[in-house]
Amino acid sequence: MKQINVVISGFGPYADLSVNPSYEVPLALEQYSSQELDLPEDVRVNIKSVMLPISFANAWPQLLEMINAQDADIVIATGVKHTARGVQLERCATNIMDATKPDVDNHTPQSVQIVENGPSAYWTRLPLRMILNDFAHDAIASTLSSDAGTYVCNSLFYRLLNWASNNSKKQIIAGFVSFPPVVATHDARHGLPLDSQIKAGQNIIREAVKYYMKPSSLSILLE
């Protein structure tokens, strides 16, 4: 029996959202079994969620603490894009913090590198092509996103990929997903129902696990 440890992170309260999908989706996914994810019988998946503060300084240390505690093989960080109409798969993390509003620590970095002299950007390690195929099969509105902005989401994404790229102990599958606002019924102008977003999370974990078991460059979509 092969055990794969998955950590999925979300963020704490957004002041202008009554329902925060990056909080609700990870909590829901923590309850799913390998069978419910439609994975091979010889694979056991252990899913743990962690809620992070919207903080440049503290989000990554808290995520890293959970990663180490769970000896994670797969790490999926999530956030919310208020303007998104569907689930957005983030392709690239850039080495810049450039905030137009303060984080929860009242920190407003402007045009500052996340990691001094670090690479300008990192590409996601999630199998985007296969995830998008699953989304299409389940009629989940989705798109690729060129970057995760320059706020806390991108900072967390960059630090995650920087850590994964420099981890010499084992291969880590890692990436970032932006959820849209939650709406009662599907509305292509405003967002997705929560159950659709949870289903999207199931698809992401399933394909990440399959990719971890059998990596293929054809599963990564960069263009």
Q: Which residues, in sequence order, are CB contacts of 61 under 8 Å at separation 6+?
A: none
Separate counts of helices (H) and strands (E) for the chain: 5, 8
List the catalytic residue out of 28, 74, 92, 153.
153
Residue type, 161: L
Q: Which residues, in sequence order, are CB contacts of 146 under 8 Å at separation 6+?
A: 91, 92
Residue 105 has a CB neighbour count (10 Å cut-off) of 12
Q: Which residues, in sequence order, are CB contacts of 175 under 8 Å at separation 6+?
A: 75, 76, 77, 89, 90, 124, 125, 126, 157, 208
> Minimal CA–CA distance to 195: which of 182, 208, 207?
182
d(CA 35, CA 186): 27
In contact, 9 and 72? CB cutoff 8 Å: no
- Catalytic annotation on 92? no
Q: Which two tokens stand for residue 208?
A: 């990440």
Q: Which two tokens stand for residue 163?
A: 């850590």
Q: How many CA atoms lie within 13 A of 85 on its CB side?
A: 5
Give catalytic residue positions: 153
